[in-house]
Amino acid sequence: MVQQCFSLHDHSVLPDLIREFESDFEKQILENQDQNLNRVPYKITDNIRKAAHDPNISKVIKSVLGENEPWVMWGANIQSGTPNQAYEWHADFESVRFPTITLMLGLQGCSELNATTCIPFSQHLKGGPGRKWCNASAEDIIQHANSLDARCNTMEKFSDFGDGKFYIFNAKTWHAGDITSSRSRMLLIMHYQKASDPRIPFMKNYKTADWFSFPAPYIVEEGFEQMANQRLYPIPKPKWRILKSIKRRLKNFLRK
């Protein structure tokens, strides 16, 4: 995580992004819930495109990916509160499996109090904390992480967060939101990766870790569209499919 927050260069896009949540994203979130679709409504709009190319955001992203490395922004979504049980301790599915940067841009009701809490160095651990630990107390989750890696001995929030400010982190890090302090919070969440890397597949169902066979919606840094890799990362197989495949191979072996 980069603990210090950064300010957006052009704040004029904020009201338009807030309106897009109220007119579009909120509706899609509710429709997904009604249809029991456990997925995030990733979309690219003109206002999201404008925010993604904000000079200050691009500068920070390039400082991590490389000054001469064109970027891809994928999986943009606007959320209110702390969605999808993100108040529990977890690591993001996509971040565990693919190299990517997660960016949180405060749109409304944001403060240091409702910024994400992370356990630094936990991105080096294998996967997330697991269901047993998702609702663990601060003391217990630190003790658990520290037992796996001695460097995981503290929690950190992003300093000086607020509306029109953003922070970046590797969401493979164990992290959680605060469901109480974030009730009136609205965020634009974007993810960045190297344009030369394969595209990240669109998750179909985050509860079963199932994926579509096409990429999550993305845009390429302006002027570098032809340099973007069009291949897709190998689609991860859910555990039940892996077990089914093992069972099938074992069955075929025993027949021989």
* Pairing state between β 186-194 and 210-215: unpaired
Q: Report CA dihedral (213, 217, 221, 226) to the nearest 10 degrees.
A: 40
Q: Report CA dihedral (222, 226, 227, 228) to the nearest 10 degrees.
A: 80
Query: Which range is least confidently modeled, 9-18, 34-43, 147-156?
Result: 34-43
- Gap between the Cα atoms of 59 and 178, Å rounded: 29
User: Which tops the pLDDT comparison, 130 or 148?
Assistant: 148
pLDDT of 29: 83
- Gap between the Cα atoms of 106 and 150, Å rounded: 32
Q: Which residues are bridge partners to 211 per DSSP?
A: 203
Q: Which domains does the chain have, with CATH numbers?
A: 6-255 (2.60.120)
- Gap between the Cα atoms of 205 and 116, Å rounded: 23
Report the chain's terminal Cα–Cα distance, integer Å.
Answer: 53
pTM (predicted TM-score): 0.88
- Gap between the Cα atoms of 247 and 106, Å rounded: 47
> Mean per-residue pLDDT for 225-235?
94
Q: Report CA dihedral (58, 63, 68, 74) to the nearest 10 degrees.
A: -50
pLDDT at 182 over 80: no
pLDDT class of 245 with cuts at 50, 70, 90? low
pLDDT of 184: 85
> Mean per-residue pLDDT for 44-69?
96
Query: Which range is least confidently modeled, 31-45, 67-81, 98-112, 236-250?
Result: 236-250
Number of Cα atoms under 13 Å in the Cβ half of residue 38: 9
- Gap between the Cα atoms of 173 and 96, Å rounded: 9
pLDDT at 53 over 70: yes
